[in-house]
């Protein structure tokens, strides 16, 4: 998705987020472009690669060393990053639910995923196909790979990790079922992993927290505040681990508060979404197709969840 806020200003990577920025984010949500991709934050129609994206969209961005392109295949979880390799059992007794956004089989089951489900504030499609890089690397492959990597790190720290699906079903699950899986597990925290499909000149990552709502099947009043804390904690650690800038199309805050996503509306446990980057942007796509960067993304996710559950920032 992208916001209606100003798109001006210099481009490039911001400094690693400071406590001041984190605190400022707690003041509330920002108006965001309404997505039509089911329960992820991409723009309307972002169901696959778009033609003609230009590498010039990435001009002016500080990239550091070149990022190698991967082969696009989902790989087995790599060993934990060296910064997280030491045995850690601080999450013993904790349950974490990770929701890898979309499913590679959804494109073959359009009738099923187009079925409307109740999200409390509205009715939305069961799920969507997700987006992809212009070279064809699917969001669903990215999300499942990073979920596997994050699971390995978190389990090494003693957590019980449940995936909403593990490549073991032909389509789905629907967005309402994804929320119910976290609820049924009485998760201490839940996270939905996504990648965006915004225009090619947009780049960076952002985190989405649930708005406090009480309508129909949706009641997030008890979890809105802890979810916002989870969002800001995750945001800081993901940026520290990956060096990815905050999304340049959301006013530079890297955080939105929404009430139109079933995966958040229907949660009864602290939960957020993370859009790890824009798959239509040349630089972000190069990162997300690189297994080494995906491992950094997993470290950022694991560290953010760990800090939240330990009551740290």
For the chain, give the DSSP string: ---SS---S--SPPPPPPHHHHHHHTT-----PPP-SSSS-PPTT-SSPPTT--GGGGTT----SPPPP--S---PPPPPPGGG-S---TTTT-EEEEEE-S-TTGGG-HHHHTSEEE-SSSEEES-----B-TT--BHHHHHHHHHHHHHHHHHHTT-EEEES--S-SSS---HHHHHHHHHHTT-SEEEEEEEE---TT---BEEEEE---EETTEE-TTTHHHHHHHHHHHHHHHHHHH-PPBPTTTTT--EEEESS-HHHHT-SS-EEEEEEEETTSHHHHHHHT-HHHHHHHHHHHHHHHHHHHTT--
Choose the catalytic residue: 177, 275, 287, 310. Answer: 275
- Whether 275 is a known active-site residue: answer yes
Q: Hey, which residues are catalytic here?
A: 275
């Amino acid at each position: 998705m992208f916001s209606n806020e100003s798109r001006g200003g210099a481009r490039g990577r911001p400094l690693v987020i400071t406590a001041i920025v984190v605190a400022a984010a707690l003041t509330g949500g920002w108006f965001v472009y309404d997505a039509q991709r089911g329960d992820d934050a991409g723009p309307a129609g972002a169901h696959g690669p778009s033609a003609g994206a230009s590498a010039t969209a990435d001009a002016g961005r500080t990239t550091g060393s070149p990022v190698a392109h991967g082969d696009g295949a989902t790989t087995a979880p790599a060993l934990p990053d060296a910064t997280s390799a030491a045995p850690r059992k601080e999450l013993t007794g904790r349950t974490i639910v990770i929701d890898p956004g979309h499913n590679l089989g959804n494109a073959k089951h359009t009738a099923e995923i187009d079925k409307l489900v109740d999200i409390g504030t509205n009715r939305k499609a069961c799920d969507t196909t997700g987006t992809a890089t212009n070279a064809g690397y699917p969001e669903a492959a990215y999300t499942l790979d990073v979920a596997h990597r994050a699971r390995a790190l978190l389990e090494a720290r003693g957590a019980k990790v449940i995936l909403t699906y593990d490549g073991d079903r032909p389509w789905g699950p629907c967005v309402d079922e994804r929320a119910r899986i976290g609820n049924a597990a009485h998760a201490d925290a839940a996270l939905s992993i996504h990648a965006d499909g915004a225009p090619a000149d947009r780049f960076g990552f952002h985190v989405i927290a649930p708005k406090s709502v009480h309508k129909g099947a949706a009641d997030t009043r008890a979890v809105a505040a802890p979810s916002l804390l989870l969002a800001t904690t995750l945001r800081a650690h993901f940026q520290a681990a990956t060096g990815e800038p905050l999304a340049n199309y959301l006013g530079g805050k890297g955080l939105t508060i929404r009430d139109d996503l079933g995966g958040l509306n229907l949660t009864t446990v602290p939960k957020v979404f993370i859009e790890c980057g824009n798959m239509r942007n040349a630089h972000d796509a190069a990162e997300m197709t690189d297994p080494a960067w995906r491992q950094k993304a997993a470290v950022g996710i694991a560290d953010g969840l760990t800090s939240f559950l330990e009551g740290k920032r």
